[in-house]
Amino acid sequence: MAVRDEDRLLDLEVQLVPMRRRHLRSVMRIEVQVYPRPWSLSLFMSELALRSTRVYYVARVEGVVVGYAGLMMTVDDGHVTTIAVDPAWHRHKVATRLLLALARQAIARGATSLTLEVRVGNKAAQELYRKFGFRPCGIRKNYYVETNEDALVMWADDVDSDEYAERLDRIESSVPGRTLIEEPRAW
């Protein structure tokens, strides 16, 4: 990485705030760039309406939305529903910051495991998830029908343990710059 990029990372201040309807235009701008089958605006709106079981954050830099991620809680599990970063902001640990915040929200709400699906070919995302302790646990054949791709199902277990809390702390301490978090309202 060039010295200038290093400086940019160290100076970076990323704000995580609960996703609101007013962010959705920016969210959709990123969504259509990064996913072959983007979620619709109405799908995001219906997710945001499910306040008791969902947590959605956007990441902002100088007021501009650069990424977002979501979590669906079931009884014991936190399911990461989506995570995406503006291509202009990749490799700035934006997804790492978002996933840290979601994992901590899931744990605070009683999750003992975290799970997600990822395209078998999406090695970048799998690498990110591996750092968070997710392991491949199965394949859902042809899950992404539009591209004929299988989904890898990944799980991180015992996320309520001290060891997992230490893992999250280690990840957090490796993230450069600052992250300011506005927590969602109590559920």
Ligand X SMILES: CC(C)(COP(=O)(O)OP(=O)(O)OC[C@H]1O[C@@H](n2cnc3c(N)ncnc32)[C@H](O)[C@@H]1OP(=O)(O)O)[C@@H](O)C(=O)NCCC(=O)NCCS
**Residues identified as active-site:** 117, 129
**Please, which residue, 25 or 91, has the CB nearer to ligand X?**
91
- When binding is defined by CB under 6 A, the residue of 91, 140, 170, 178 that contacts ligand X is 91
CB of 186 to ligand X, least distance (A): 28
Strand partners, 84: 68
Q: What are the helix (H) ranges across the chain? A: 3-11, 24-34, 41-49, 94-108, 123-131, 162-173
Q: Does 179 bind ligand X (CB under 6 A)?
A: no
Binders of ligand X in range 34-73 (CB under 6 A): 34
**Please, which residue, 24 or 83, has the CB nearer to ligand X?**
83
CB of 63 to ligand X, least distance (A): 18
Beta-carbon count within 10 A of 149 CB = 16
How many Å apart are CA 42 and CA 34, to the nearest integer?
Answer: 18
Considering only the stretches 7-15, 126-134, 135-143, 179-187, report the one whose residues sit in contact with ligand X under the rule CB under 6 A: 126-134
Number of residues in the chain: 187
- Which single residue is written with the structure tokens 């495991």? 113
CB 14 within 8 A of CB 180: yes
Binding site for ligand X (CB under 6 A): 34, 83-85, 90-96, 118, 122, 124-125, 127-128, 131
